[in-house]
Amino acid sequence: MVQKTLINRCRRIDSALEYERVRQMSKPFFVKFSVPKEVTDAAYEALQLANQTGSVRKGTNETTKAVERAQAKLVVIAEDVEPPEVVAHLPLICDERKIPYVFVPNKQKIGSAIGIDVPAAAAAIVDLGDSATLVKEISKRLEQVKKAGTG
C-alpha cells in the first residue's frame, strides 16, 4: 500500500515537471517575436535606471493608460502572466501608437527592477532619465529582431 502511494506521488511529480517544461518551452499567444537574452537584461536595467532617475508606470493598468496617452517610451511585458489575456492587448496598442515593446520571461524580475516587492505583469518607461541611450539601443535592436522575424 505504501509503495503504491509512493508510485502515484512520483507520477504526479513527473507529470507536473513535464507540464512545467512544456509550458516554459512554448510561448504565450501574445508573444509575437523571441527576444534575445541580452535585450531582456538591458530592458530590466533600463527599467531600474528609469525608476531611479526618471519615471516608470507600474502594472498593466498604468502601462495601458501610458500607452493610450502616448506617454510611454518603452513598454516591458512579462511572458509568464496568468491568464495571458491580462496583457495580450498591450502589443496591439503599442503597435498602433508605434511605441517599442519588449517581452521578458519573468514578471518577478520586472517587479524587482522597478523597486516593488510584488511581481508586475507590465511596466512602461515614461520619463527616460539616465536610461535614454539604453532605451534607444533596445529600440534599435528590437527593430532588427522584428525585421529578421527571429530572436
Non-local (6+) Cβ contacts of 125 within 8 A are 46, 47, 50, 54, 55, 56, 72, 73, 74, 75, 76, 131, 135
| Residues 17-43, mean pLDDT to the nearest whole number | 73
| In the predicted structure, residue 66 carries a pLDDT above the cut 90 | yes
Q: What is the mean pLDDT of the chain?
A: 85
| Residues 11-36, mean pLDDT to the nearest whole number | 64
- Whether 65 is in a domain gets the answer yes
| In the predicted structure, residue 99 carries a pLDDT above the cut 70 | yes
For residue 113, the enclosing domain spans 27-148
Measured between alpha carbons, how far is 104 from 151 in angstroms, rounded to an integer? 12
- Whether 117 is in a domain gets the answer yes
Spatial contact of 83 and 58, defined as CB atoms under 8 Å apart = no
- Whether 7 is in a domain gets the answer no
- Whether 10 is in a domain gets the answer no
pLDDT at 27 (0 to 100): 76
Across the strands, what pairs with 89?
Answer: none
| In the predicted structure, residue 8 carries a pLDDT above the cut 70 | no
| In the predicted structure, residue 95 carries a pLDDT above the cut 50 | yes
Supply the CATH number for residue 129's domain: 3.30.1330.30
| In the predicted structure, residue 151 carries a pLDDT above the cut 50 | no
- Whether 12 is in a domain gets the answer no
Q: Which of 75, 84, 76, 74 lies closest to 27, judged by CA? A: 84
pLDDT at 14 (0 to 100): 59
pLDDT at 33 (0 to 100): 81
The structural domain count of the chain equals 1
- Whether 8 is in a domain gets the answer no
Q: Which of 139, 123, 105, 91 lies closest to 34, judged by CA? A: 105
| In the predicted structure, residue 2 carries a pLDDT above the cut 60 | no
With bands split at pLDDT 50, 70 and 90, how would you rate the model's confidence at 23? very low
